Amino acid sequence: MGRSAPNLLVVSDLHLGGPLRPPFGFRALRQVARLDRELSRFLAYWSAHPLPGDDGRPAPWTLVLNGDTIDFLHMDLRPEGEEAAPDEDEDLHGLALSAERSRWKLDQIARFHRRSLRALARFVDGGNKLVFVVGNHDADLFFRTVRDGLVQHIAAHSKAPEAVAAKVSFSPWFYYEEGRAYIEHGHRFDPYATFPDPLIPVDPAAPSRLAPNFGHWGLRYFCNRVRTFPVHDVDTWGVGDFLRWGARMMGWPLLRAAWQSVVFLARYLIDALRDGVARRRLMRAEKLRRRERLARFARKFGMPLARILALDNLRLPHVGASVLRYMQALYLDRVALVGAFVTATVAAFALLSPSTAAFATMGLLGVAWLGWRALADARPVQDVHPLLGSLARRIAWLTGARVVVFGHTHRPVLRRLGRAHFLNPGSWEHLPRQRMHARGEPCDCDARFGVITGSQDATRPRLMRWCARDRAPQVLEMGAGRA
């Protein structure tokens, strides 16, 4: 009897390196140390507790780190001394989004997170495999020098460094096991986090740097300049949250932040338009390059090219895809609609009799309401979490996967979708900043993850929590697979 297929351990949004940004001090080091400690204990536990496979014997693990594992985006340390000094733009906004700077960031993150890398090496040494699915915060893994550097950092802690490369792999789009699991980060469905081309997230005119991305440009040209603005989960903020933040910033700091937001928004729009021009100029070459990349995915996963194309077509365009879409993203279309309604109403009362003007205003109000609804339907989606559930159903139908996994939103969920399940394993980002509950208290630890066992119709997903106090996992939800 052959050995069982590996069981899947899925962790999303670790954000290693996220605390490494000014003001950098003891608090950040404590957060790094706590995340390292819990990840090390987590991996040691599962190395020592393999679950049975289809044949009843302990099966190895495939640990799928589902995007935003290495937080190149939030990390904002700068080279000093004899290293390549930042230029004037980097002094103001943080390091350039280039392959060279990404490799430097990786080396610094590896230096601070040695314990996590050592834990990953021991996990691989134990006969398990490691897969990095690329997300928006670690899109830098697209660069070969960065991928090779990460493998080297893991191998440096391994007892068999020469064997690490064969057990560590990277997926720039999704990880797939036929009839079992489809795992993708999910940022290509987020117009504010995706790239002009999420499969090839680089500038077509300069392939050594990342292409314009609203979130990346926001971090670099706004958050790195306005240090009081929080960088964690701001995408979940409503209008009231922004107003409360602004109220705390009254005076000169608020004016400075407002000006910096104008700089960021203008810089992003200009760069996005330039990127669009470059893509249109290189359309034929880019189209051929992309087609070959999709064909490689089809060959790798044994799928028909038509199915890969269908999966690819589910992606959403980024907010800088056109000036109109950008205006919609910033709600400027609604501002223009209100302005047009007010102007037309004033003109009606100035040019028509009062009764006719009142009648015309009612008609204008109806048109404005219809326009308001139409603009709302066309607006780039801000909260992609509800959308991911419907996308999971579609992807399950296209691929035959019994479990479809997304990360990105940091919101854990396990939901039945007919014959399949939708799983979001949540995030570990908040764990280093969370209060440790007392022994005996109900566990509220914020480290969630997924476990997928079995194959075909017997595939069973679990949504689980890692309890930092008990140093043990807890099952939160269990999917129903037929044994």
Cα–Cα nearest to 46, from 4, 8, 5, 3: 8
User: What's residue 83's pLDDT?
Assistant: 66
Q: What residues does each domain of the chain span?
A: 7-321+383-478, 332-378
In order of 221, 230, 334, 389, the CA distances from 245 in angstroms are 18, 9, 23, 31
Q: Which residues of the chain have pLDDT under 70?
A: 1-4, 81-83, 233, 235-239, 480-483
Return the pLDDT at 2.
47
Tokens 């109806």 sit on residue: 366
* pTM, 2 dp: 0.91
At 160, phi and psi to the nearest 5?
Answer: -130, 70
Q: At 31, phi and psi to the nearest 5?
A: -65, -40
| Cβ atoms 6, 50 nearer than 8 A | no
Residues 149, 103: Cα–Cα separation, whole Å? 7
pLDDT digits (tens, 9 = 90+) for 167-181: 999 999 999 999 899
Read off the amino acid at residue 187. Answer: H
Provide the H-helix boundaries in 400-436: none
Burial of 144 by CB count in 10 Å (0-12 exposed, 13-18 middle, 19+ buried)? exposed
pLDDT given for residue 480 in this prediction: 66
Q: Which residues of 91-128 are buried (b: 16+ CB within 10 A; e: fewer)?
A: eebbbbbbbebbbbbbeebbebbebbbbbbbbbbbeeb
